[in-house]
Structures are given as structure tokens and as C-alpha cells.
Amino acid sequence: MVRTTRLIWLLAALLVACGARDGDNTGPPTGAATGGGTAASTAASTAASASASAGAPASASAGAAASGSAGADATPMTSERANLRYVALGDSYTIGTSVSLEARWPNQLVASLGPNEPSLDLVANLGVNGYTSQDVIAVELPQLDALRPEFVTLLIGVNDVVQGVSADTYRGNLSAILDDLVARVGPNRIVLVTTPDYTVTPAGADFGDPTTQAAAIRTNNEIMATLAAARGIIVIDVFDISRRAATDRSLVASDGLHPSSAQYQRWVDRIAPAVAGLLRP
């Protein structure tokens, strides 16, 4: 009985072994097929990755990026911005000597334009106390290469008067400045502001004979207007506003010479509409 049972078990084992060999000849079991399919897929993926590393076509790379997780490189960059990069050029009037940062007229200008787009981002105020037109050429213009302005303002000329720079020299310097700016941003992205009359301030007489100096300021302002008109550049005249300081001392800063925040606000009331017209025609 025992021998018979062992014989039966041996026969059963032989049948199972034969069946396994037959199965290998006809195809893999379902479980093996799944595993084989996974391996094939992995091999294909590996081959595809190797192809991409070796220099896959752009369309294949784009498809791989699209099917992968989103990233910075997957989103196209755009150069469109709501605001233009704004750089202010000039002297003490531009840097706002004796007033706070917020009271400087370039800062007030940006604030006055409000939330409407496009507007201005003041990326640099290059004004320096005492600068002449030659200083703008030598020091300020070279900085524009790195600043990449899209809009500029310029107020320069009072120190040319104070330092006795001739009208012809001022004309030549200003021509060079304007030509440089036009080449960078175009005439419709430039606003010029005339030189105010400092001679009516309490400290005005400390910087030359008021009558002589006021006449020289007028001459330089006329030169600016002529050169700007020839290039299609807007000029905002604040000379008349500044002369109101003769009777309204609230328009003079604490140093007795430069404009106050209140005077700069009056300038901006005149400048801002012109700037808005250029930005939002």
C-alpha cells in the first residue's frame, strides 16, 4: 500500500514537470507575461532616455517635458511687463536735496501715476548734488548700460550756470546726452524738465548775482527746448512754478535753496499728465 502511494506521487511529479516544460514551449504564464511586459517597458524607457541624452529631436524632448512634472523651464518666459524700467538723471533737483526719499519728484511721479498700467518702476535715481551736464556724460550715462532703462527723465543745467559753463558748451553737452538717450530708449520714452530759478530763494544770492544767473538759467532752458524739439522729445517747464517761491516760502526746503516737497508736488502735477500720455497713448 505504501509502495503504491509512493508510485502515485512519483507519477504526479513527472506529470507536473512535463506540463511545465510544455508550457515554456508555448508561452509564459500570465504572471510571467506581466513581469516580462514590465521589463520590456523599463528597457524601452531606458533606451529612450539614452536616446535623449545622446541628442534626441526637440519634439521628443518637448514631449518628455510635457509628460513630466511641471517646472520653471516648462513655462515659456515672457518679456511683457506692466511697468517700464525708469531711471532719473540729473543733479540736486533730481536727487531731492533736503527732502525725504518719498518727496523727491521722481518718486512722487511714480506714485502719482497710480495703479493703471503700464506705469514706471524707478530702478535708479542717478542725480548728484553739484553735477553739471558734463558729469552726466562722464558718470551717469555709462551706468545706463547695466541699468537697461526703458524710460528716462533728465533735469540738468543749474550747476552749469553756477560754475560758469558757457552756453555753447552746455548746448554741445546736452546734444550728446540727448542723442545717447534717444539711441537707447527712443524720443517717446524721454521727458526733460527745465531748470528752476533758484535765485528767488533765501539763499539764492549766495550763488551769483540773481539777475545774471536767472538770465543764464533762461538761456539754458531755451537751449534745452530747442534741442528737444529737434528730436521730438517732450520738455516740461517748471521755471514759472519755481519763481512762486519768492512769495511763498512753503515752496522752499529747509536749506533755504532747494525746492520743498510741496514745490515738487506742483512739478509732478505738470509732469505726470505728459508721462501718462506717453505711456498710455
- Residue 12 above 70 pLDDT? no
- Residue 64 above 80 pLDDT? no
Task: Tell me the per-residue pLDDT of 106-159, one tens digit each, with 9 for 90 and over.
Answer: 999 999 998 888 999 999 999 999 999 999 999 999 999 999 999 999 999 999
Q: Could you give the number of structural domains in the chain? A: 2
Q: Does residue 226 share a domain with residue 93?
A: yes
What is the structure's pLDDT at 82?
Answer: 79
Q: Does residue 88 share a domain with residue 196?
A: yes
pTM: 0.72
Distance CA 216, CA 222 (A): 10
Closest Cα partner for 61 from 69, 71, 51, 75? 51
Domain CATH for 250: 3.40.50.1110
**At 270, which helix (H) or strand (E)?**
helix 261-279
Q: Amino acid letter at 90?
A: G
What is the structure's pLDDT at 80?
Answer: 52
Is 65 contained in some domain?
Answer: no
What is the structure's pLDDT at 117?
Answer: 86
Task: Tell me the per-residue pLDDT of 81-96, one tens digit each, with 9 for 90 and over.
Answer: 579 999 999 999 999 9
Task: Tell me the per-residue pLDDT of 229-255, one tens digit each, with 9 for 90 and over.
Answer: 999 999 999 999 999 999 999 999 999
Q: Does residue 106 share a domain with residue 34?
A: no
